[in-house]
Amino acid sequence: MKALVYVTLKPDVLDPQGKAIVRASAQLGYDAVKAVRQGKLFELELDAADEAAARRLLDEFSDKLLANPVIEDYRVVTIEP
Amino acid sequence: MLAVVQFPGSNDDRDMRFAFKAVLGAEARLVFHKASELPPDTRGVVIPGGFSYGDYLRCGAMAQYSPIMAAVKRFADAGGPVLGVCNGFQVLCESGLLPGALVRNHGLHFICEFVHVRVERAAAPFTSRVAAGDVLRIPIKHGEGCYYAEPGLLDELEQGGQIVLRYCEVDGSVSAAANPNGSVANVAGVRSARGNVMGLMPHPEHAVEPAFGGSDGIAILGSFADAVRSAV
Amino acid sequence: MSAAGGLREPRVDLALAHEHGLTTEEWGNVLEILGRTPTFSELGIFSVMWAEHCSYKSSKRYLKRLPTEGPQVIEGPGENAGVVDIGDGLAAVFKIESHNHPSFIEPRQGAATGVGGILRDIFTMGARPIASLDSLRFGPIEDPKHRYLLQGVVDGVGGYGNPVGVATVGGETQFHECYRGNILVNAFNCGVVEQDKIFLAKATGIGNPVIYVGSKTGRDGIHGASLLASAEFDEGSEAKRPTVQVGDPFTEKCLIEACLELMRTDAIVGIQDMGAAGLTCSSFEMASSGGTGIDLDLDLVPQREVGMTPYELLLSESQERMLLVARSGEEARVLEIFERWDLDAVVVGRVVEGGHMKVAWHGQTVVDIPVDPVAANSPELERQVVEPADLRERQKLDLAAVMPESDLGGALEALLDSPNLGSKEWVWRQYDQLVQGGTLIGPGGDAALVRVTREDGTPTDKALALSVDCNPRWCWLDPYQGAVAAVAEAARNVACTGAKPLALTNCLNFGNPEKPEIMWEFAEATRGLGDAARALDTPVVSGNVSFYNETSGRAIYPTPTVAVVGLLEPWQRHAVSHFTSVGRDVVLLGESREELGGSDWLALRRGLEAGLPPSVDLAHERALHALLAAGVAAGVIETAHDVSSGGLALALAEAALTGPEWIGAEIELDDPQRPDALLFGETTGRVVAAGAAAERLLDLAREHGVPARRIGRTGGDRLRIRPAAGEAWIDAALERLHHVWTNALPRRIGAAREE
């Protein structure tokens, strides 16, 4: 199975990279860009019986390694066979 | 004996050993991360700076699962003293031995410069050689050294006396201008609730000889060496 | 020999050879050497080996004339890096190398892989890399593209050097219109090795295993060195791949530790970095210097991508890879060490008799080239040399017609505020300057000074002084004098710490060598390098040539970057470039001649790049080196700061501003020449010195035959410079000067210090 997991900083943690991108967008004339949060997207290939099993595995793995729960949130974006 | 843990990507490991052995006359050895046990004569553990596993996922994230870290956790749980510097601080936070987390510097750049830190708490095993209020001049060199603790946790740390060092001006006053990386409450170093684990972003091992940036780092490493000696 | 059947490869003929950058004559040599038409892979190998980048075909005849020997030289040019004796069984290993073109295309990765490459050159020799310098040149900082390039390059240098655990302790960063189309990124590294642990790139011992270690091979950088993507190879569907290589400092760090661990054993006989041109060049060079042949099996090479052709495997420039030859029977020991560091290590071939390099792929021979004839027939060109038609015009300067400076204080501020002379703290603050614990003097001084520590961690009393310099404007006005001055300045900077200059490495950055005027610049500059290196007893032990720094017919100024390495022992006595205490006598060593030609003042305040650069008296420079060493050893010199760009006034300002505390000075100059020349002229061979015993210093100077005079005293919070009679020329608060100087870069980059 293939899965995508998205990890980003929690809303209350400052994201200096996102801020810098907003500043740069204004300088480039893209005033329409109002806010940016930067994150990481992981593409995983899994051995899992079904989607439910894959989700359990991804939750555990994301919590343990892909994200640091002290500062980051994660979201399983897609699971595909 | 002090065990200096060597991960792939550690790069202040030899400097740390040098500070303890050559400057402080303490016994210190490098212990490779693939060992599943600390040497039996280990009385203290140091996790040095660097970029363990390239810091490719998050600083310190992958090192926490190295075989040696299970042994370090057992050592800490048994009350053994553990000191983490820079990447070592990040590893200790990631592995849950210390509260909070370290995130990208607010200025986004890696910064290498000498800063001043104020000692908030003077106690063994990390700061017995100094008094509260003392100001130390020690370098930092990191890109992700901004200490983060959510407000509730920060209160807990303040009340529990777990904040050991704060970035400050040369006169000891704590100001926003003296904060090099955006750390919450200017925190530069914290300890565990039990007091036997400490992490700090500044590098005391790079301030142990007068000609090489001063010797204020001895305040911390010397305290640690004292504690380890007296534990023998 | 039938070329790899089953492979869809282009037909190899003269036209394809031309596309690979080979000339008709070179193609003829290929046919003669092989006695047949080459396979596609073989054509790729010849094109890479005979490209300017690897063959030095335009520069060779000039490089041969450089002095490369001396009692201190253990290994000169030809190895991965130069090796110099520093006593007690230790040696310094160093080299500078360019990564200009890749850094212009992708500044972060270009600079990062430049650092990675130079580090491999050092630890391949068995040395632990201890200190890096970088010499960076960009177009005008006002150009947003060049601000982007600056930020990217600095990010790349730090992004590689910091994780790999090697301190970046100095360098130079300059901006000039001539680099608008071609930036320069020259990376220097110096390492230390025990003399009995020096390793060379030699494949010896018939039957010995050839082992591939490090990262897997991908399609990175194929065609990077010699040819660009061409329609003939384009299958149409084949995705266009970037030729930019990506650096992995983590793997490099593990490689350093694993290689040094391996080198403490006696398991290996030779080792070579897979740099530009990858597997091809490294195995060829090893076989060539070993007088042997090599059989390689490409199927054994660790591969990152599927379906790679032999051509791609042989020409890939994937980073962080090495090739080594082990003693037969020691394979297991070698593999075990790399296993410990989680690195790929695979036996991919054997050293063989017969002097052929043979490469097999899927059971077929795809390459079979005799090694010696290729090396012997390596092309050497005698390119046309013509003095530029406008040279005399450039050199014309009637000083009497140059309006004298009416605001000397304002001129000093303008110089301090200029991107070239302003503080570079913004740059080096992003570099780890401290790791390995040896940094006595980091960035911002004349030369960096780094203590030597043995591999087992024992510190020594030795320190290495390192400086990299070049004044491209001077080289444009007079490449001979400019190159002499570059050697002189780098050596003088090293001497200012108290160290004895030992040897140099150079990175010769020039335009298109097919143009006779560019070749004239090159010929003149190398002649100057040679003369200066001979006179100062600093032989050239390593280096690199970078041609084609030219865009749309506009070449860079000739930029022969010179890095000098010196030895100081014991390091406990060394001088710094800033004032250390109040109440010290300030002494000017050397004489100020009325020389404003090619100066920063003339360029900045009068918009003129003209005149003859200051001349260099090499005998005087030698005497100055001896005086500085004696003065520092005797403790009479605490401060020694080279007078260079911006002249005496700028040197004094820097001495006042760059210490842990600012210390002002009261200076009186009794000299009849025009004040702007006295303050901002760039006469070479001068040093601002300070110490507690001026009389002893003046005596010592007399003994060494160096002109010296007391010009003032340190103290206060102002820099005041006045003539013997009359009002002060300059009277400035240090706080003001510091503000201007530290903000020169940040205010232009829009990166106010984050406080």
User: Per residue, what are the HEC states of chain B?
Assistant: CEEEEECCCECCHHHHHHHHHHHCCCCEEEEECCCCCCCCCCCEEEECCECHHHHCCCCCCCHHHCHHHHHHHHHHHCCCCEEEECHHHHHHHHCCCCCCEEECCCCCCCEEEEEEEEECCCCCCCCCCCCCCCEEEEEEEECCCEEECCHHHHHHHHHCCCEEEEEECCCCCCCCCCCCCCCHHHEEEEECCCCCEEEECCCHHHCCEHHHCECCCHHHHHHHHHHHHHHC
Neighbours of C33 (CB within 10 A): 18
Catalytic residue among C20, C53, C101, C625: C53
Q: CB of C570 within 8 Å of any CB in chain B?
A: no
pLDDT at C252 over 50: yes
pLDDT at C367 over 50: yes
Handedness of CA B101, B142, C220, C553 (dihedral sign): positive
Q: What is the mean pLDDT of residues C157-161?
A: 96
Q: What residues of chain B lie within 8 A of the CB of A68, using their CB? A: 58, 61, 94, 101
Q: What is the mean pLDDT of residues B142-158?
A: 96
Band (pLDDT 50/70/90 cuts) for residue C476 is very high
- Tell me how close the Cα of B99 comes to any Cα of chain C, in angstroms: 25
Q: For residue B59, indicate whether it is catalytic.
A: no
pLDDT at C699 over 50: yes
Helix (H) or strand (E) holding C62: helix C60-63
| Contact by Cβ (8 Å): C102, C190 | no
pLDDT of residue A37: 87
Handedness of CA C327, C330, C334, C339 (dihedral sign): positive
Asked if the Cβ–Cβ distance from B112 to C432 is below 8 Å, we say yes
What is the side-by-side strand order in the sheet with C128-138? C73-75, C82-87, C90-98, C184-194, C128-138, C167-175
Q: CB of B58 within 8 Å of any CB in chain A?
A: yes
CATH of the domain at A71: 3.30.1280.10
Band (pLDDT 50/70/90 cuts) for residue C225 is very low
The β-bridge partners of B139 are: B114
Q: What is the mean pLDDT of residues C116-131?
A: 96
How do beta strands B44-47 and B2-6 pair?
parallel
Q: What residues of chain B lie within 8 A of the CB of C572, using their CB? A: 211
- The single-letter code of the amino acid at C528 is G
pLDDT at C4 over 60: no
What tokens appear for C604 in the block?
Answer: 């900045």
Cite the DSSP H helix spans in C591-733. 600-606, 618-633, 647-657, 675-680, 694-704
Range of weakest confidence among B138-152, C52-66, C407-421, C721-735: C52-66
Q: What residues of chain A lie within 8 A of the CB of B103, using their CB? A: 9, 13-14, 71
Q: Which residue has the higher pLDDT, B60 or C610?
A: C610
- Average pLDDT across chain C, whole number: 92
Q: For residue C20, indicate whether it is catalytic.
A: no
| Contact by Cβ (8 Å): B103, C422 | no
Range of the structural domain that residue B23 is part of: 2-231
Residues 6+ apart with CB under 8 A from C582: C663, C714, C715, C716
Nearest Cβ partner for B17 among C165, C341, C457? C457
Q: What is the pLDDT of residues C328-344, one digit of tens each?
A: 999 999 999 999 999 99
| Contact by Cβ (8 Å): C263, C213 | no
Cis peptide before C102 (omega within 30 of 0): no
How many domains, chain A? 1
Q: What residues of chain B lie within 8 A of the CB of C342, using their CB? A: 8
Owner of token pair 């050097």: C161
Q: What is the mean pLDDT of residues B36-54?
A: 96
pLDDT of residue B231: 73
Range of weakest confidence among B195-199, C283-287, C525-529: C283-287
Q: CB of B182 within 8 Å of any CB in chain A?
A: yes
pLDDT at C752 over 70: no
Handedness of CA C135, C139, C142, C143 (dihedral sign): negative
| Contact by Cβ (8 Å): C637, C495 | no
Q: Which of A40, A71, A73, A74 best probes binding to B when mutated, by most B CB atoms within 10 angstroms?
A: A71
Q: What is the mean pLDDT of residues B184-197?
A: 97
DSSP state, C217? B
Band (pLDDT 50/70/90 cuts) for residue C384 is very high
Exposed / middle / buried, residue C231 (Cβ in 10 Å: 0-12, 13-18, 19+): exposed
What tokens appear for C69 in the block?
Answer: 């020997």
| Contact by Cβ (8 Å): B51, B88 | no
Q: Which residue has the higher pLDDT, C586 or A9?
A: C586
Q: What is the mean pLDDT of residues C508-517?
A: 95
Three-state SS at C97: strand
pLDDT of residue A27: 77
pLDDT of residue C233: 32
Band (pLDDT 50/70/90 cuts) for residue C322 is very high
How far is it, in rounded angstroms, from Cα C726 to Cα C668?
A: 11
| Contact by Cβ (8 Å): C377, C315 | no
% of chain B residues with pLDDT over 90:
91
Nearest Cβ partner for C435 among B12, B53, B111? B12
Exposed / middle / buried, residue C182 (Cβ in 10 Å: 0-12, 13-18, 19+): buried
How far is it, in rounded angstroms, from Cα C328 to Cα C345?
A: 15
- The ipTM is 0.95
Q: CB of B109 within 8 Å of any CB in chain A?
A: no
Q: What residues of chain B lie within 8 A of the CB of C429, using their CB? A: 109, 111-113
Cis peptide before C479 (omega within 30 of 0): no
Band (pLDDT 50/70/90 cuts) for residue B55 is confident
pLDDT of residue C236: 38
Q: Phi first, then psi: give them for residue C461, nearest 5 degrees.
A: -90, 5
pLDDT at C5 over 70: no
- Average pLDDT across chain B, whole number: 95
Range of weakest confidence among C51-55, C167-171, C380-384, C601-605: C51-55
CA C47 to chain centre: 26
| Contact by Cβ (8 Å): C566, C502 | yes
State the Cα angle at C269 between C265 and C275, rounded to 5°: 105
Helix (H) or strand (E) holding C495: helix C479-496
Q: What residues of chain B lie within 8 A of the CB of A20, using their CB? A: 108
Three-state SS at C712: strand
State the Cα angle at C520 between C518 and C523, rounded to 5°: 115
pLDDT of residue C437: 92
Band (pLDDT 50/70/90 cuts) for residue C285 is confident
Query: Taking an 8 Å Cβ-Cβ cutoff, which residues of chain A contact chain B?
Result: 9, 12-14, 16-17, 20, 65-66, 68, 70-71
Range of the structural domain that residue A68 is part of: 2-80
pLDDT of residue C6: 58
Residues 6+ apart with CB under 8 A from B193: B160, B162
- Tell me how close the Cα of B106 comes to any Cα of chain A, in angstroms: 6
Q: What residues of chain C lie within 8 A of the CB of B213, using their CB? A: 434, 439
pLDDT of residue C276: 67
| Contact by Cβ (8 Å): C463, C478 | no
| Contact by Cβ (8 Å): C383, C519 | yes
Nearest Cβ partner for B148 among A13, A20, A66? A13
How far is it, in rounded angstroms, from Cα C474 to Cα C256?
A: 39
How many domains, chain B? 1
- Tell me how close the Cα of A23 comes to any Cα of chain B, in angstroms: 13
Band (pLDDT 50/70/90 cuts) for residue C753 is very low
Nearest Cβ partner for A70 among B57, B62, B101? B101
% of chain C residues with pLDDT over 90:
83
pLDDT of residue C238: 38
Buried b or exposed e, range B182-221, using 16+ CB within 10 angstroms: bbbebbbbbbbeebbbbbbbbbbbbbbbeebbbbbbbbbb
Catalytic residue among B59, B86, B93, B168: B86
Q: For residue C53, indicate whether it is catalytic.
A: yes
- Tell me how close the Cα of A81 comes to any Cα of chain B, in angstroms: 26
What tokens appear for C727 in the block?
Answer: 């009002």
Q: Which of C432, C441, C568, C574 best probes binding to B when mutated, by most B CB atoms within 10 angstroms?
A: C432
- Average pLDDT across chain A, whole number: 90
How far is it, in rounded angstroms, from Cα C215 to Cα C320?
A: 6
- The single-letter code of the amino acid at A65 is L
pLDDT of residue A17: 83
The β-bridge partners of A78 are: A4
pLDDT of residue C318: 87
How far is it, in rounded angstroms, from Cα C133 to Cα C111?
A: 12
Asked if the Cβ–Cβ distance from B22 to C435 is below 8 Å, we say no
How do beta strands C293-297 and C356-361 pair?
parallel
How far is it, in rounded angstroms, from Cα C609 to Cα A32?
A: 46
What tokens appear for C699 in the block?
Answer: 């005596």
Band (pLDDT 50/70/90 cuts) for residue B154 is very high
Q: What residues of chain A lie within 8 A of the CB of B97, using their CB? A: none
The β-bridge partners of C559 are: C509
Residues 6+ apart with CB under 8 A from B212: B206, C437, C438, C439, C440, C451
Asked if the Cβ–Cβ distance from B50 to C451 is below 8 Å, we say no
Q: What is the pTM of this model?
A: 0.93
| Contact by Cβ (8 Å): C150, C141 | yes
Q: What is the mean pLDDT of residues C564-583?
A: 97
Asked if the Cβ–Cβ distance from A65 to B107 is below 8 Å, we say no
pLDDT at C270 over 90: yes
Asked if the Cβ–Cβ distance from B8 to C164 is below 8 Å, we say no
Range of weakest confidence among A22-36, C208-222, C297-311, C433-447: A22-36
How far is it, in rounded angstroms, from Cα C652 to Cα C592?
A: 14
| Contact by Cβ (8 Å): B34, B74 | no
